[in-house]
Amino acid sequence: KASNSLSFSLQAKMSRPVQARRLEGIDKNIWVEFVKLAATYSKVNLGQGFPDFPAPDFLTEAFTRALGGGNHMLHQYTRAFGHPPLVKVLAQFFEKLLGRDLDPMTNVMVTVGAYQALFCCFQALVDEGDEVIIIEPFFDCYEPMVKMAGGTPVFVPLRPNPPKDGKLMSSADWQLDPAELASKFSERTKVIVLNSPNNPLGKVFSRGELGLIAELCVKHDVLCISDEVYEWLVYDGKQHIRIASLEGMWDRTVIIGSAGKTFSATGWKVGWVVGPNRLLQHLRTVHQNSVYHCATIAQEAVAQGFQRELMLYGKPESYFVQLPKELQQKRDWLVQSLDGVGMKPIIPEGTYFLVADISQFKSDVPDVPNSDEPYDYRFAKWMVKNKGLAAIPLSAFYSEAHKSNYTNFIRFCFAKEEATLKAANDILQKWKQEKTSS
């Protein structure tokens, strides 16, 4: 039998707080709940952002070659800051895109997906008390990552200006108010996070909008974390402009990319950062002391994927030309299908996401007044449980203080097989019919 003093000391130990202070208030996460709901109930999953079609053959073949090709060293550690063939080809590729010479060893670093690139950036560049400007709506992990680094997020919204001619809204109709943006910069501002093309809206920032952000960064000596994971996914002849190519911006910008998004292989978790050594040297310190490096085999295969793309650059056979073409078609199907049932889509100029207005479907899902849960969360949960269709509530991409202003929208991912999009259309059509006949 346990002695009294032993059970006392065990209890005393258990009452000590186990959680580090930096985790306070960031323990809730939309993905845990919605990924589980989709796995349990969905017949058609347009929720989380990943393709359900295969990665291109040239990429999976490169992986198989790396695995069985006789170079057994590909099963061992590689260089911490990036497998040499991958950083070399990334440097060559980005030299072309940015029009400047790059050193593969100091201007490029490989990470475990863009996610870890973001984590390295916030840990390396943000200090206690620093302010970080985040444009709403935003990829949700920016906020907890800033807080974990001890920084204070400062939010500035993209404001919708619906077209007056009754046309469908476009992601381009969501804009920053220049005076409001300028008012967020102060001597406490260390970083602004830019995500163009933007998840969840699909907005592709124009040269004018980027110019405004660049001007403020230079004026206030602010850094820019530029999350460009959807750089190749732009539609209707739009051009993705890299803020690092604007005057005064290279020295203060870290560009983030993702092989997951670029080559439709999100499970590989290969990402990268490109930027000046004065910033990357500090990212290397974080990376070295946390993750060390990303799987060698995956890096080798991605390097070969980029070598192919470098050779085919701008040609019709290039995956970076073909993928957006295919996705634009899928976007158009989903736009048509949602517009047809009155779930008004906001036409995205980029990414593989589309935000739609659920106002006309609200009567099916009653609101619960004074609930802590935003209405769009309730709607998305109801939809997956009752209709088998999974999507993500838009307010998940807003800060706590602003969630309640954006509860009429849900986000769909359209990087899906034709059959998946058809099945989604069938669900929506049937739902609409039930509504009109009831």
Q: Which is nearer to ligand PMP, 154 or 225 (CB)?
A: 225
N-term to C-term CA, the chain: 67
**How far is it, in rounded angstroms, from Cα 109 to Cα 346?**
35
CB atoms within 10 A of CB 140: 18
- Candidates 24-32, 109-117, 120-128, 211-219; binding stretch for ligand PMP (CB under 6 A): 109-117
Please tell me whether residue 266 binds ligand PMP under the rule CB under 6 A. Answer: yes
Please tell me whether residue 271 binds ligand PMP under the rule CB under 6 A. Answer: yes
CB atoms within 10 A of CB 28: 9
**How far is it, in rounded angstroms, from Cα 207 to Cα 219?**
18
- Provide the minimum distance between the beta carbon of 71 and ligand PMP in the complex, in angstroms, as a whole number: 25
Q: Which is nearer to ligand PMP, 114 or 124 (CB)?
A: 114
**How far is it, in rounded angstroms, from Cα 274 to Cα 259?**
14
Full 3-state SS string of 168-185: CCEHHHEECCHHHHHHHC
**How far is it, in rounded angstroms, from Cα 253 to Cα 249?**
6
**How far is it, in rounded angstroms, from Cα 292 to Cα 111?**
9
- Candidates 263-271, 335-343, 357-365, 420-428; binding stretch for ligand PMP (CB under 6 A): 263-271
Do residues 194 and 135 touch, judged by C-beta distance below 8 A?
Answer: yes
Tokens of 102: 């790059």
- Provide the minimum distance between the beta carbon of 118 and ligand PMP in the complex, in angstroms, as a whole number: 6
Bridge partners, 345 (sequence order): 356
Please tell me whether residue 151 binds ligand PMP under the rule CB under 6 A. Answer: no
Give residues 37-66 in contact with ligand PMP (rule: CB under 6 A). 49
Cβ neighbors of 340 (< 8 A, separation 6 or more) are 428, 429, 432
Q: How many residues does the chain have?
A: 438
Q: How far is CA 235 from CA 38, 71, 230, 322, in A?
A: 28, 40, 11, 12
Please tell me whether residue 253 binds ligand PMP under the rule CB under 6 A. Answer: no
- Provide the minimum distance between the beta carbon of 266 and ligand PMP in the complex, in angstroms, as a whole number: 5
Please tell me whether residue 258 binds ligand PMP under the rule CB under 6 A. Answer: yes
- Candidates 3-11, 156-164, 266-274, 337-345; binding stretch for ligand PMP (CB under 6 A): 266-274
Q: Which is nearer to ligand PMP, 140 or 209 (CB)?
A: 140
Q: Which is nearer to ligand PMP, 261 or 330 (CB)?
A: 261
Please tell me whether residue 227 binds ligand PMP under the rule CB under 6 A. Answer: yes
Please tell me whether residue 273 binds ligand PMP under the rule CB under 6 A. Answer: no
Site string for ligand PMP, 182-221 (x = CB under 6 A): -------------x---x----------------------
Give residues 115-144 in contact with ligand PMP (rule: CB under 6 A). 115, 139
Residue numbers at the binding site for ligand PMP (CB under 6 A): 49, 113-115, 139, 195, 199, 227, 229, 258, 260, 266, 269, 271
